[in-house]
Structure 1
């Protein structure tokens, strides 16, 4: 009998998704193993390429630059400031604990990268919608400061992780912390705790107290924002955060934290800055276009005459009206800047009104109107009728409110007749006048409305001074310069060469213009600028006495002066022929005293004696006060004198600062202090600090970033500074 077969059970079919998940996990594990292997190889390679500990100790953090005046004396030194290198055992325990507590609490337990810190950073990023915390360890910060820059990119962050892991494989925790505390940037140009301690407290880091250590440890996050010399209140608040972190870390007790009182600390005050810094702030950014050297220490030799600079500073301070600012630029016959004052007080305001401010020049702009007329064939003796005129609905008036009939161009220029300037502008073409201004170096936009002949386009003082210097140079272009040569390690890498090849107008046109200019000083609106030797120049006053100008030249020296309020409010009694002309004379008398007297090629020819001078000659009325116009040349209602008087006060409101010159200066300082490589994320903080403290909404600036430490008397740390002077 046949045996019955036992039926086989059907094979169990596996889910395809399960198979895919298993394969995916296997692939991920394999990739993870490969990634770990690649990471280990990368760390090993990086470790083998790292410098030795001694090499890292001696590596520089930035480029040193010493700026010399014309006589060779050092005006200012820029770049990193270093103190004594402190071995790990000499670093105070409170300084080590404060740094670890606030910067990297798990420093002694992680391998160089802290996974918990990274996770916390990602969580905060998710909650806030932007990166608030970077999760960087002390070792990562050291790697970034020494080897990398601070670009916020993942590729840079990954290299930072590799280097941090390599550093911890090659050096001990003590060596890493020693390198960090001796090389990290603490603001004010100070690298390392000893330089910071000497800068802010006037003694070496080995004597740091708990409160002082807390202040310095708190600077690393944002050296400019928390600098005690810039914002004492912010520094104290940050020090409190450090002390609280030390309590949580277990380094100190709550009682010790309470006893530490950062507000009672004594600060070593910063040295006062003088007006020569306006010049260096203008000249040094030009290095980027003159040389390629970015590492070797540099000596920069400049044109600045310190004696002239002192006289210029004194002239501006003594003559600028209360509540007004003043600026002065003086050029030698080859364009060398001998003196530059950008304001009455560099400490109170670093805004350079000589090179950055754009203001209406008033009748000083008539230089270009008459140059165009002379080039078109007119002569100083030519006659023209001073009569009412209307051009495209615009009717200028003379300051005397009357017309004198037929006058010579010399008379019209000497007494700054507005109707004549308008008729000349219409004759030669307003576009021609604008082209003449640009030809002579005006770099700001020039409008071509009829009122432009009265100086309604904004200009810079240095550009106007350059234009007058080119007239003094017989029509050959003058280019202002401040750097004569640059040396690196004793080798000259740049020498300035004067270009005398650009002829702007024929020599006879420049001579005729000089004829008119010297008449204006001898008998016209600029008589207050006389200095006992031949002088040629021109006044300028804008509507409602908002700006006063005088520009002129004598004995090969051309000087321009501007005065006015930063907020462009009227200033009672300010006119080009008064305070600016007096400041010009006060500066030029000593400045030309050692120079031979030079006669102009044209003899002084007096204007028509029968013509009564206009009111500005006697009373200093505005050159274009007859008709007020806006920036486009359109007439605007004249403001009543009562309203103007109500606006007079001693307050100062800073104008918006052009970004380009400041951007160049910030980039230079970042490069000099090494912030374009390590610590570049603090560039924006330092850039903000460069803005003027008088700007609305700004805290006082941390201009200590551009100063050297100098021991001085000590002052209590009690309140935020309102400027860079020590706290009183």
Structure 2
């Protein structure tokens, strides 16, 4: 028998068994790769099927050309009369071959510079947008292509959901499969919204420049292309400077992407672009521009013709417009917001002329409120234990290196809180703010609906933080509403043209912000300001409570007040924040307030204010805790920052007690007894309050003599030397805010 050269059992089987096994992580990595590849392949198949099915279901090109984007909206006033009819405005269809090359290059350079290279969605653009989001923390760069925008404009809405974005991407891919790039761009330019109701470049060209789209110049094309990002903000009729700045950006993008040369861009003089005159506009549009965008939230899926029933009173709107035009100083703008006691907007004026500028200064402009901000300073002081009759000292003070001064550098010495507020004494406001804490003042402003950033530097007590007119009006409306939160709204209901109700406004649940004695105290102060103080020009022959506001160098003038259930805020100033000679809150703004309120309250019964400060009945000792009010009367924030409703803590099946704890005394007719408000002071005191020499214990500046000062007892319930408050900015909390801000 022949001998084997190979040992027994040394075949391939033993070789494979002796091979080392792969590491665990490599085996799992391989499996993940295989499964990932499988899922990616499956996703690609699903996407391909979805795109193919969507492509087959797309309308023909002729059908898309004849379809119209937009919705007919009839806007009605509070009495049912028609305010305005809004709807899409279309010009003539412009074929791609007739669209000026400057227009196509401008829109591609601005909206989608890789338009000719992608297949409907741009992965590089999406990646770039994500990188910007990671680096800055904000979505500053969109990843939507022109094709995606077209899909959204024709087939979808503007809701920001992943489902909508997914449908948008599939539609974009399908559009790219069915139509050419030129056809898609033609559809886009003839259908995109350019503002002012204009859909398509021909409508925009005729609206803004008064000629067909075929005649658009390079400068005009840059202006029109810049509108797509924000039609209302960059509209040349809304803000000419903003429109020109945006056009310069468009020209720069065109140069960067090689559409035009730098010499061509430099040759464009945007100042010489002539704009067509607008007709048929009035101040009602300030209101509709604010209210109608809220429909995207109230009815996000609706595209039917609708009727919007608003809160606007036509007569009050006319009176408000006339009051602003008649009283705004030359070269200055004016704004007015008027609210009913439930927050319904009765009138809104955003400027002296909507045709000249449709920028809404009532809802969008942020300006310093001056002494009108003292509303929050004094409410914080009242909540901390002060009363209108308490004595304070109007004298020069320095807080953390800041030395506020009164108007005319006059100081009245010892006065009561009521008079310090009525004559808007800055030094007293500074002392009160320092005593109760600047953070407490900021918190009070937040409670009453101020949504803009608030700083807590000492000067904040004089209104250094910028606010909106609608927010300040809302805060004063909260005082008029007995200390309850008021949320402005402009839409009562929305119906179809057949009468079907699609939306009905529902009032917010009551939310008490401060106890009743704080409301009574601040109303006392506000009423005195109008009766004998800086707001005397706001008198209308019935009880009025309000506050003036004037900023440094007369840049802003305010008057905000209420009467007979109507709260109105008036602001005047220049858009460029330059001084306006003679502008004071107690002058033109107060006169405009009075002119409007005489009409607005004419058909309402006279309402007297309850200014009797009734501290809680259970108070036994005048200490800090007692002056905070009954914890069951209103919401408060605990040490952990939680909002607490003490009236329900540990209670079940018990009715909630009245907000004021005790019923108000009433007469035979069930109404609170009314009477004339007490005078702020006598004639002799008025001389001292305004800093005049009287020779009775005062100096030229009104400072008290040492003998008089010794008779002023110290306040035992306030800390004499408060801890300095660190400078910071208070971030807006989750205070309900009206849409459209």
TM range (shorter): 0.5 to 0.7
Distance in 2 separating the partners of 1:69 and 1:413: 38
In structure 2, distance between residues paired with 1:617 and 1:521: 20
Cα deviation for residue 183 of structure 1 reads 6.4
Q: Which residue of 2 aligns with 1:381?
A: 389
1:392 shift after superposition:
2.3
Query: Could you tell me which residue of structure 2 aligns to residue 502 of structure 1?
Result: 511
Partner Cα separation in structure 1 for residue 227 and residue 419 of structure 2: 61
The whole-number CA distance in structure 1 between the counterparts of 2:324 and 2:689 is: 25
Counterpart of 2:439? Answer: 431
Q: 1:303 — aligned with what? A: 311
Moved more, 539-548 or 519-528: 539-548
What is residue 481 of structure 2 aligned with on the other side? 473
Q: CA RMSD in A?
A: 5.3
Deviation, structure 1 residue 72: 2.3
User: Which secondary structure state, in structure 2, belongs to the residue aligned with residue 384 of structure 1?
Assistant: strand
Sort the Cα spacing of 1:43 and 1:301 in 2 relative to 1 into closer, same or farther, 3 A: closer
- Give the corresponding residue for 1:66: 74
d(CA) in 2 for partners of 1:522 and 1:154? 62
- Could you say if the C-alpha distance between residues 534 and 167 of structure 1 is closer, same or farther in structure 2, counting changes exceeding 3 Å? same
Alignment partner, residue 622 of structure 2: none
Contact 1:363/1:539 (<8 A) preserved: yes
- Trace 1:311-322 onto structure 2 (pairs within 5 A): 311-322=319-330
Structure 1 unaligned regions, length at least 5: 1-37, 105-115, 120-124, 126-137, 239-265, 619-631, 635-663, 667-728
1:399–1:616 Cα contact (<8 Å) kept:
no
> Is 1:417 aligned with 2:417?
no
Paired position in structure 2 for 1:598: 607
Paired position in structure 1 for 2:548: 539
**Separation in 2, partners of 1:99, 1:450:** 59
What is the rounded CA distance, in whole Å, between the counterparts of 1:39 and 1:498 in structure 2? 46
From 291, 301, 319, the equivalent of 2:299 is: 291
Match status 1:569 vs 2:578:
yes
> Is the counterpart of residue 356 in structure 1 residue 350 in structure 2?
no
Whole-Å separation in 2 of the counterparts to 1:514 and 1:633: 31
Task: Provide Cα deviations, 1:33-88, integer angstroms capped at 9, x if missing partner.
Answer: xxxxx99999986664344688657644233333222122333344423579x9xx
Q: 1:434 to 1:200 in 2, by over 3 A?
A: closer
Sort the Cα spacing of 1:322 and 1:117 in 2 relative to 1 into closer, same or farther, 3 A: closer
Cα distance change on mapping 1:452 and 1:201 into 2, 3 Å: closer
* Aligned residue number for residue 524 of structure 2: 515
Aligned mates of 2:300, 2:540 — CA distance in 1? 44
Once residues 290 and 465 of structure 2 are traced to their aligned partners in structure 1, the CA distance between those partners, rounded to angstroms, is 23
**Matching of residues 313-712 of structure 1 within 5 Å:** 313-488=321-496, 490-602=499-611, 603-609=676-682, 610-613=684-687
* 8 A contact 1:524–1:613 mirrored in 2: no
State the secondary structure of the residue aligned to 2:319: helix
Task: From the superposition, tell whether residues 592 and 500 of structure 1 become closer, same or farther in structure 2 (CA, over 3 Å).
Answer: farther
CA deviation after TM superposition for structure 1 residue 525, in Å? 0.7
* Structure 2: distance between partners of 1:547 and 1:559: 17
Q: Residues 1-39 of structure 1, C-alpha deviation per residue, up to 9 Å, x if partnerless?
A: xxxxxxxxxxxxxxxxxxxxxxxxxxxxxxxxxxxxx99
Q: 1:488 to 1:396 in 2, by over 3 A?
A: same
Contact in 1 for aligned 2:404/2:427 (Cα 8 Å) = yes
Per-residue CA shift, 1:381-401, capped at 9, x if unaligned? 222233333322323233243
CA displacement, residues 247-305 of structure 1 (integer Å, 9 cap, x when unaligned): xxxxxxxxxxxxxxxxxxx9985324222222222222322332332423332221111
Tell me the alpha carbon deviations over residues 584-612 of structure 1, each in whole angstroms, 9 at most, x when there is no partner.
11111111111111111234111221223
Check the 8 A contact 1:330/1:338 in 2, yes or no: yes
Deviation at 1:219, TM superposition (A): 9.3
Tell me the TM-score normalized by structure 1.
0.60
Conservation of the 8 A alpha-carbon contact between 1:525 and 1:616: no
Name which of structure 1's ranges 139-148 and 409-418 shifts more when overlaid on structure 2: 139-148
Compared CA separation, residues 56 and 421, structure 1 to 2 (3 A): closer
Contact 1:196–1:216, Cα closer than 8 Å, also in 2: no
Q: Please give the alpha-carbon distance, in whole angstroms, between the structure 2 residues aligned to 1:369 and 1:553.
A: 19
Q: Give how far 1:199 is off.
A: 6.6
Q: Which deviates the most, 436-445 or 284-293?
A: 284-293
How many aligned residue pairs are there?
Answer: 527
Q: Deviation at 1:359? A: 1.8
Higher mean C-alpha deviation, range 358-367 or range 482-491: 482-491
Cα deviation, residue 223, structure 1: 4.8
Distance of 1:387 and 1:140 partners within structure 2:
65
1:612 is paired with a residue whose SS is: helix
What is the CA distance between 1:441 and its match in structure 2?
Answer: 1.2
User: What is the CA deviation profile of residues 173-207 of structure 1, one whole-angstrom value per residue up to 9, with x for unaligned ones?
Assistant: 9xx89x9699645856455799789979999xxxx
* Mapped partners of 1:379, 1:599: distance in 2: 20
In 2, the alpha carbon distance for the partners of 1:402 and 1:56 equals 73
Deviations 1:185-234 (A, max 9, x none): 5856455799789979999xxxx9xxx75559999998556999979999
Q: 1:156 to 1:118 in 2, by over 3 A?
A: farther
CA contact (8 A) 1:400 1:615 kept: no
Counterpart CA distance in 2 for 1:459 and 1:40 is 52
Quote the Cα distance in structure 2 between the aligned partners of 1:197 and 1:443: 38
8 Å CA contact 2:50, 2:170 repeated in 1: no
Residue deviations 1:469-525 (CA, integer Å, cap 9, x gap): 111111111111111112245322221122251111122321221111111111111
Query: Equivalent residue for 1:31?
Result: none
Give me the whole-angstrom Cα distance separating, in 1, the residues matched to 2:103 and 2:329: 51
SS state at 1:270 partner: coil
Structure 1 pair 58/552, CA: closer, same or farther in 2 (3 Å)?
A: same
User: Residues of 2 paired with 1:82 and 1:384: CA distance?
Assistant: 66
Q: Within 1, Cα distance between the matches of 2:409 and 2:527?
A: 25
- Give 3-state SS (helix, strand or coil) of 1:393's partner: coil
Give the unaligned 5+ runs of structure 2. Answer: 1-45, 105-114, 119-123, 125-145, 229-234, 252-273, 612-675, 693-724, 728-738
Aligned-residue offset at 1:462: 1.3
SS in structure 2 at match of 1:471: helix
**Separation in 1 of the partners of 2:550 and 2:456?**
20
Alignment partners' CA distance in 1, 2:690 and 2:436: 27
Cα distance change on mapping 1:548 and 1:97 into 2, 3 Å: closer
